[in-house]
A and B are shown apart, each in its own frame.
Chain A
Amino acid sequence: MFNLNVKYILIAVIISAFSIVKSAAQNASNYILLTPTNVGFNINSASALESTSTITNSFKVTCRSRNGAYSVYLKISARSQSTNTPIPYNSLGVKLNAAATGQTGNFNDIYLSTIDQLIIQGTATSGTRVHDWTYNLLLKPLGYNIKPGSYNFTLLFTMTQP
């Protein structure tokens, strides 16, 4: 009986340790790669303060998932500013501009928060192929209560393989 318990525990520990290593590191067959082209808004006019700003083809999400289908979630993981009036989290958004070839995309405007939101569901990739998803970056009208200054965000993309 004791030997059986030890056996179960050892197997469980080994598999758990293995899973922790795999979930923390990208590898050649499974990864997510972010390529920003232009992710900087410059708000310098009344019209820019009063309307939604869009940076077209702002960044690209490249996914390789040879292990199987995958999902990509997005949230704001950090923000900072040079003033005492932060820009609300949900002012920043993304919009899919071009889905990966052969994939179905969600082309709705998705405004962000500090909680993960599903933005991509893709099928498994094969061979050396990758899926490239191109996004626009959106900024809601800031209005006149946000003081002049610099505002920075960190967007965290998480690719999962169920």
Chain B
Amino acid sequence: MLKKCFYTVLFLCAVFSARSQSFNGTINPSVNVQTVLNLNVVQNIASLNFSTLDQFNNGITVSNYSTMQIKGNFDWTFSVSTTTQYFTASGASASPNMPASILQMSLSTSPTYYTLSTTPQQISAGSQGDETETGNLFNVNLKANPGYDYGPGTYSITITYTITTL
């Protein structure tokens, strides 16, 4: 009797399994992640105005001149340069030969200043991550010291910030 029950159960299981069918198919999605580096510059100071003897004697130092917010999926380096060798001068007495080298820049957390030129100079480096990653949010200081060698006028120059993959 016990054997008969066993075989009956076996038979029912077989019948049940026969009714359950499955069919398969696949697709193969892909994700191509390219290198992404993003730099957001917040310009805290628009311009510098030289009007006192002390400013001409010692230059002007602007703390936290710009704020950099970097995010990327790759480790990076941060460099600074100018687009031209000389400032663009305007005004009747302005000098056309004020060089980019009257500018110096540093990290706000570092005493080391780098003299600007058209050659990019690395002043920082960091890790992949968004701006909450340590080192991905920082300020730079700017020092300008033209002395007495250039006539009164308005001078402008473009500073280029560059981030590249490490």
Q: How far is the CA of A155 from the CA of B24 in the complex (A)?
A: 10
Chain B 16-50: CB-based contact to A (< 8 A → 1; otherwise 0)? 01111111111111111111101000000000000
Given the interface pairs A26-B23, A40-B32, A92-B29, the reply to whether A12 lies near B130 with Cβ below 8 Å is no
Q: How far is the CA of A44 from the CA of B72 in the complex (A)?
A: 11
With both beta carbons as reference points, the residue of chain B lying nearest to A143 in the complex is identified as B130
Q: CB distance B38 to A148 under 8 Å?
A: no
With both beta carbons as reference points, the residue of chain B lying nearest to A150 in the complex is identified as B32
Q: CB distance A155 to B36 under 8 Å?
A: no
B116-136 residues with Cβ-Cβ distance < 8 A to A are 128-130, 133
Residue A130 interfacial (CB < 8 Å): no
Q: CB distance A43 to B36 under 8 Å?
A: yes
Instruction: Number of A interface residues at 8 Å Cβ cutoff, please give it.
Output: 61
Using a Cβ cutoff of 8 Å, how many contacts connect chains A and B?
A: 162
* Interface-centre pick from B15, B30, B33 (highest chain A CB count, 10 A): B33
B24: chain A residues within 8 A (beta carbon): 32, 156-159
Q: CB distance B25 to A34 under 8 Å?
A: yes
A61: chain B residues within 8 A (beta carbon): 25
Residue B155 interfacial (CB < 8 Å): no
Q: CB distance A150 to B129 under 8 Å?
A: no
Within 8 Å by CB of A146, from B17, B28, B73, B130, lies: B73
A39: chain B residues within 8 A (beta carbon): 27-30
Residue B148 interfacial (CB < 8 Å): no
Q: CB distance B10 to A145 under 8 Å?
A: no
Q: CB distance B14 to A15 under 8 Å?
A: yes
Question: Other than the known A36-B27, A67-B21, what 5 A-B pairs have Cβ atoms closer than 8 Å?
Answer: A11-B11, A19-B14, A34-B27, A144-B129, A158-B24
State the A residues within 8 Å of B (CB): 1, 4-5, 8-9, 11-13, 15-16, 18-19, 22-23, 26, 30-34, 36, 39-46, 48-49, 58-59, 61, 67, 77, 87, 92, 137, 139, 142-162
State the B residues within 8 Å of A (CB): 3-4, 7-8, 10-11, 13-15, 17-36, 38, 71-74, 128-130, 133
